[in-house]
Amino acid sequence: MKSCDTQAGLIDFEEALSRLVDDAQAVVEIETVPLFQAVGRVLAQSPVASVAVPPADNSSMDGYAVNTAALSQTEMTRLRISQRIPAGTPPQTLLENSCARIFTGAEIPEGADAVVMQENVSVDGDYAIFPAGVTVGENIRRKGQDIDKGKDVLACGIRLQPSDLGMLASVGLSEISVYRRLKVAILSTGDELVEPGLPLASGQIYNSNRYILTGLLHSLGMEVVDVGCVADTQASTLSALAQAADRADVILSTGGVSVGEEDHVKSCVEQLGQLNMWKMRIKPGKPVAYGRVGSTPFIGLPGNPTSTLITFCLLARPFLLGLQGAAYHAPLVLPVKSGFERQRAIQRQEYLRVRFEAGEVIPFTNQSSGVLASASWANGLAIVPPNTKVSKGDSIQFIPFSELLA
């Protein structure tokens, strides 16, 4: 009997990912949205700064603006306070042999070339007494030090984070061009699946994959087209796939991509379009399928819930983001110390649900692809390459879930 690990024709993970990323060209139109609604959206154009940030030299401290030429470099200097400059108030030109009381963020007056923090200045009525050794440029934030006028603010293809919205607001933008939300049709196959809230009959299970995928897609800012649960018949599967292709930009299914008599998805995709890849050299998640239903991209994920989650994160997620118009960025992979041993080497690349704590990764005790509790307990995945044994203390690669779930 052939092992799952020794089957011929399995596609290496790196090759599968490369092919998916290369095929993932943006399929959605551009729209303009208010900046307040743009977090998580994919930037469709690179905005250009119409102003510099900051727009003028300003103070990084509460203190006193001064011309260093008026100060002694060897002893204290006494200067009259000629003006007070709060943030947002236009300054006057600094009078000769005087200083200005200035506050954080306020514009530097013409004639001043340094700000001395208030803790280093003594005040005597209308006069300020400065220490020796003040240097030119001290505590001044220069015009354009954050963003130069006329420069691209952000690159096209990034998913906008809250800090990005702040940058766009800082150059005066109130709305931005982004790609329309990708419409992703999800369908679950299996006569055994029942929706939560309904009673279970013998042989039935609750449909967890539907909720996993919906949550993952919503976290990516995508629109879910729920085709529902599909009966394990060829006719039902053909109808559901055709309906999904008409309603969405891409189809995502779970289950039905293996070789059992009740697994109809693979053959139905081939009837309606083409299958470009099938079966990956990974564990869990070997029976991943990729192709097209008509002209609509299709990814078929395994039915076991942990396999669904992991293959979505590793393969479907970068493909979907590419269709959404986002530039591909590989997840952060960290070298960590193994807190376990694995003396049985397999020929597939394995992704273990692990928790990183106390400087090492510890795997969940049951790594079965049907044990979803392992993913809720874990905070990332440890990668065991093909044909590799692991000893305690070995360096091993770790991908935090924070890199894969948002």
What confidence score (pLDDT) does residue 1 get?
Answer: 41
Count of CB atoms situated within 10 Å of the CB of 88: 9
Q: What is the distance between the alpha carbons of residues 291 and 272, in angstroms, rounded to a whole number?
A: 10
Q: 302 near 285, Cβ under 8 Å?
A: yes
Check: pTM over 0.85? Answer yes or no: yes
Residue numbers of the chain with a pLDDT score lower than 70: 1-8, 257-263
Question: Sign (positive/negative) of CA torsion 257, 262, 265, 268?
Answer: positive
3-state secondary structure of 314: helix
Based on the domain organization, do 394 and 269 belong to the same domain? no
What are the two backbone dihedrals, phi and then psi, of residue 88, each rounded to the nearest 5 degrees?
A: 95, -5
Based on the domain organization, do 44 and 173 belong to the same domain? yes
Alpha helices in 253-387 (DSSP H): 265-272, 305-311, 317-323, 373-377
In a domain, 23, yes or no: yes
Count of CB atoms situated within 10 Å of the CB of 66: 27
Based on the domain organization, do 317 and 233 belong to the same domain? yes
Q: Which two tokens stand for residue 141?
A: 């934030």
3-state secondary structure of 141: strand
In a domain, 279, yes or no: yes
The count of structural domains within the chain is: 4
Distances in Å between the Cα of 233 and the Cα atoms of 240, 261, 268 are: 11, 10, 10
3-state secondary structure of 365: coil
Based on the domain organization, do 128 and 70 belong to the same domain? yes
pLDDT tens profile 333-389: 999 999 999 999 999 999 999 999 999 999 999 999 889 999 999 999 999 999 999
In a domain, 2, yes or no: no
Based on the domain organization, do 201 and 311 belong to the same domain? yes
Q: What is the distance between the alpha carbons of residues 174 and 196, in angstroms, rounded to a whole number?
A: 42
- Tell me the β-bridge partners of 375: none
Amino acid letter, 390: V
- 285 torsion bin: left (phi>0), alpha (psi -120 to 50), beta (else): left
- Per DSSP, 279 falls in state -
- 153 torsion bin: left (phi>0), alpha (psi -120 to 50), beta (else): alpha
Q: What is the distance between the alpha carbons of residues 247 and 165, in angstroms, rounded to a whole number?
A: 31
Q: 67 near 85, Cβ under 8 Å?
A: no
Q: 207 near 196, Cβ under 8 Å?
A: yes
Burial of 402 (0-12, 13-18, 19+ CB in 10 A): exposed
Based on the domain organization, do 169 and 228 belong to the same domain? no
Q: What is the distance between the alpha carbons of residues 394 and 166, in angstroms, rounded to a whole number?
A: 42
Q: What is the distance between the alpha carbons of residues 106 and 90, in angstroms, rounded to a whole number?
A: 8
pLDDT tens profile 130-185: 999 999 999 999 999 999 999 999 999 999 999 999 999 999 999 999 999 999 99
Based on the domain organization, do 257 and 359 belong to the same domain? no
Last residue of a domain, one of 179, 198, 230: 179
Q: What is the distance between the alpha carbons of residues 90 and 95, in angstroms, rounded to a whole number?
A: 15
In a domain, 190, yes or no: yes
Based on the domain organization, do 192 and 260 belong to the same domain? yes
Based on the domain organization, do 170 and 286 belong to the same domain? no
- Per DSSP, 256 falls in state -
Burial of 119 (0-12, 13-18, 19+ CB in 10 A): exposed
Q: 202 near 230, Cβ under 8 Å?
A: no
Based on the domain organization, do 314 and 258 belong to the same domain? yes
Place of tokens 């299914």: 253
CATH number at residue 94: 2.170.190.11
3-state secondary structure of 167: helix
Based on the domain organization, do 84 and 193 belong to the same domain? no
Q: 287 near 278, Cβ under 8 Å?
A: yes
Q: What is the distance between the alpha carbons of residues 197 and 207, in angstroms, rounded to a whole number?
A: 11
Domain hosting 384: range is: 334-403
Q: What is the distance between the alpha carbons of residues 381 and 314, in angstroms, rounded to a whole number?
A: 10
